[in-house]
Structure 1
Amino acid sequence: MADAETAPLPKIVIEEPPPPPPVKRPLFARLGDVPMRVIYRGVVGGVAALAVAAAAVVFFVTGWDRGTPTAAGPSDVESLVTPPAPGSASAAAPLEPVPSGSVPSGSVPSGSPEATSSASVSASVSVSAPAPVSAQGTASPVASPTPGKSALDLAKADPRVPRLPAERKLRAFRGHGTPTKGRVKDKRSGITFARFTKTWKRVTSSPFATRRVLPGAKGAKHRGLLATCPVPIAVQDQIRDTAFLAARWTLNYHPAGSKISWTASQPIKAGKREGWLLGYRVHYKVGGKNHQSTAAVALVEVPSGKPALVFITIPDAQKKRWSDITTLITSLRPI
């Protein structure tokens, strides 16, 4: 039996259904797929950014005003070279903070060699220093510089220091002066003067070039002082004005509250050198009682540098030595 012809069977193709759309997972669920090193770096970077931002906020809030420049205060140098004026509590002593215009008895060591420092007085006054201490242990008042006013203007406005009189000669003091022998040479100041052989005792000079004091008087708290140095204040155009400022400066070496009354104002000659002399009394109170010291300041022009200053003051408790003032002034010579 012959095989019957058959038709080919149709090809059956089964179509696969399309894949379902991806499911969106929450952000926190997807963090698990991120490497941990990336997470750590991100955390560290975020913390650093927050720290920088916080520091910037703190700077602008608290540090802005601190960086704002303020006006400068008065110059210390001016207060150092300007003698004190009443009512001010600022401190700036041009030299040492020890009152010696009438030096407290027992406060100065005896038998010390006379010191001659190589540093100039002008250098020592260019730095700030404590206010001079008065004999009563209180700081002498020092004037703060006033803008637009010179040292001479301030001195003329000081009620402790009256205006200088017309030329007036220093009177000769009665009594026998202390004997002298030889001369004292102040090489730093460029001046020489008679050496007293008795009574006046040489003591440590610093910051002066030379310094001598009288023995303490019984019942007195102060003693006489004789000192020399290059003038420690601003030099003026006229030597008379410089002497005026120097006399005012010597109030640092007298008791607090001292006032000046003039007894002499005259040109002088030390050898062939020109100079100016001021004589004055310094009035003050000690223990509620009125006292006075007789004093003199002499300035002598020297070939180089500032004029030489010679300062002597003797309290009323030692008035028998007032004649030493005349001896000293008449013996001045340049080196």
Structure 2
Amino acid sequence: LAGEDTPEGKTASSPTASAGPTKAGTGKRSTTIPALPKYPGKASPVTGRVEDAAAGVSLPRLGGSWQLDQRATVKSTFGYDTRQYTEVAPDKYAQVMSGPLPASMSSLYDKDDLEPVIRRMVLQARKDFYPDGNKVRKIAQQPIKVGASTGRLIAYAMTAGTEKATIVTMAVNTGGSVPAIVFVSIPDEGKQLLPDIRTVMNQLKLTAQS
């Protein structure tokens, strides 16, 4: 995999979802991308909050098998300020990470059009966390609200050989010079965790930025 794994692993992969209905009788796939589905199953409990002062948001702290990565090397290893993770198969990890958009990407930021920054963050994740030659397909997208602020969510199905993942990236306007980014990756082997994506989306909150 691209990048060097840490003891907790640097990778994360997961299940694909339908890209939507096809046009009756034409054989052509509809270009309409649906909103995030309500995945079946029970979501993990929420045990508290994870504060991301740099990004200006806080996230739900997921319980159950999820752990909070408290190492000082999270930022240098993963490129995000906070990380929650759980092992779903040997050396395969689901993860939820957050941080401000990197300054090097700030020129892409338009508070009224957040897709360019999401696409760039997904491209970076594909380079950092998945094997070379991986492919993604957009499977869901929707606007989101975090308090009085606006944001956007885009979900992709990632495939790399036999490896599959659902990856979701959210960008949130916080009033700062760059948006907050939340990245969620669920391996196919951990598809029972898919309901946790909606938990993260629904329980994001704005905080004061440091």
Q: TM-score, normalised by structure 1?
A: 0.49
* Pairs within 5 Å for 1:1-335: 98=3, 107-108=7-8, 166=32, 168-203=34-69, 204=71, 205-207=74-76, 208-217=80-89, 220-232=90-102, 233-234=105-106, 235-237=108-110, 238-251=113-126, 252-285=128-161, 290-335=162-207
Q: Which structure is higher in strand share?
A: 2
Aligned length: 176
When residues 200 and 134 of structure 1 are mapped into structure 2, their CA distance, relative to the original with a 3 A threshold, is closer
- Aligned-partner Cα distance in 1 for 2:34–2:11: 30
Name the aligned partner's letter for residue 163 of structure 2: H
C-alpha deviations, 1:24-50, integer Å up to 9, x for none?
xxxxxxxxxxxxxxxxxxxxxxxxxxx
Kept in 1, the 8 Å contact 2:152–2:170? The answer is: yes
Contact 2:44 2:196 in 1 (8 A): yes
Specify every segment of 5 or more residues in structure 2 that has no aligned partner in the other structure, as ranges. 13-30
Q: Is the 8 A contact 2:109 2:179 kept in 1?
A: no
Identity fraction in percent = 24
CA pair 261-195 structure 1, distance change in 2 beyond 3 A: same
Deviation at 1:236, TM superposition (A): 3.4
Bigger CA radius of gyration = 1
Change (3 A) 1:272 1:292: same
- Distance in 1, matches of 2:11 and 2:98, equals 20
Mapped partners of 2:11, 2:152: distance in 1: 27
Give the distance between the partners of 2:132 and 2:7, measured in 1 at CA.
Answer: 17
- CA drift at 1:134: 7.9
User: Does the CA contact (< 8 Å) of 1:201 and 1:215 recur in 2?
Assistant: no
Q: Distance in 2 between matches of 1:206 and 1:186?
A: 12
- Residues 225 and 320 (structure 1 numbering): CA distance in 2 closer, same or farther, change over 3 Å? same
Query: Deviation digits for residues 89-131 of structure 1, max 9, x if unmatched?
Result: xxxxxxxx846xxxx6x7228xxxxxxxxxxxxxxxxxxxxxx
Does structure 2 conserve the Cα–Cα contact (< 8 Å) formed by 1:314 and 1:322?
Answer: yes
Distance 1:221 1:189 in 2: 29
Verify the 8 A CA contact 1:134 1:256 in the aligned structure 2: no
Change in CA separation of 1:314 and 1:174 when aligned onto 2, cut-off 3 Å: same
TM-score (norm 2): 0.75
Q: Secondary structure at the match of 1:215?
A: strand
Deviation at 1:241, TM superposition (A): 2.0
Say which structure, 1 or 2, has more relative contact order (CA 8 Å, 6+ apart): 2
Higher-helix-fraction structure: 1
- Aligned-residue RMSD, C-alpha: 2.3
